[in-house]
């Protein structure tokens, strides 16, 4: 069996499962391992064979950048409020 390397680590099992799904869909073998970091905190390691590590990193980074773009684009906190009064109207073009 090949040595496994951690491609991502997160405290959220749902995110680890999303990463696993992405990797599996791209024919990359993947394992999820719960790691006890401290007596009160666990993290989840997403692990792949070392031969697949670079490709797995690229896929996860690509997905992460898509998620970040989506969060920025569609987050209500980033929308200008159209019903706010406009104070600086300048008719002198």
Q: In the predicted model, what is the mean pLDDT of residues 24-37? A: 91
7 vs 35 pLDDT, higher one: 7
Give the single-character DSSP code of 2. P
What pLDDT shows up at residue 30?
96
CA distances from 36 to 18, 48, 69, 75 (A): 21, 19, 32, 33
**Three-state SS at 64:** helix
What pLDDT shows up at residue 63?
80
Distance from C-alpha of 69 to C-alpha of 79, rounded to nearest angstrom? 14
Confidence of residue 41 (pLDDT cuts 50, 70, 90): confident
Q: Left (φ > 0), alpha (ψ -120 to 50) or beta: where does 29 sit?
A: beta
Q: Which residues pair with 48 in a beta bridge?
A: 5
Structural domain boundaries in the chain: 4-65
Question: Would you say the pTM of this structure is higher than 0.85?
Answer: no
CATH topology of domain 4-65: Alpha-Beta Plaits (3.30.70)
């Amino acid at each position: 069996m090949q040595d496994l390397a951690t491609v991502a680590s997160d405290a959220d099992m749902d995110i680890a499962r999303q990463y696993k799904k992405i990797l599996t869909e791209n024919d990359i073998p993947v394992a999820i391992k719960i790691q006890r970091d401290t007596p009160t905190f666990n993290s989840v390691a997403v692990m792949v064979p070392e031969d697949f590590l670079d490709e797995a990193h690229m896929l996860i980074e690509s997905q992460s950048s898509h998620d970040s773009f989506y969060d920025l684009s569609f987050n209500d906190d980033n929308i200008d409020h159209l019903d706010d009064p406009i104070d600086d109207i300048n008719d002198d073009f």
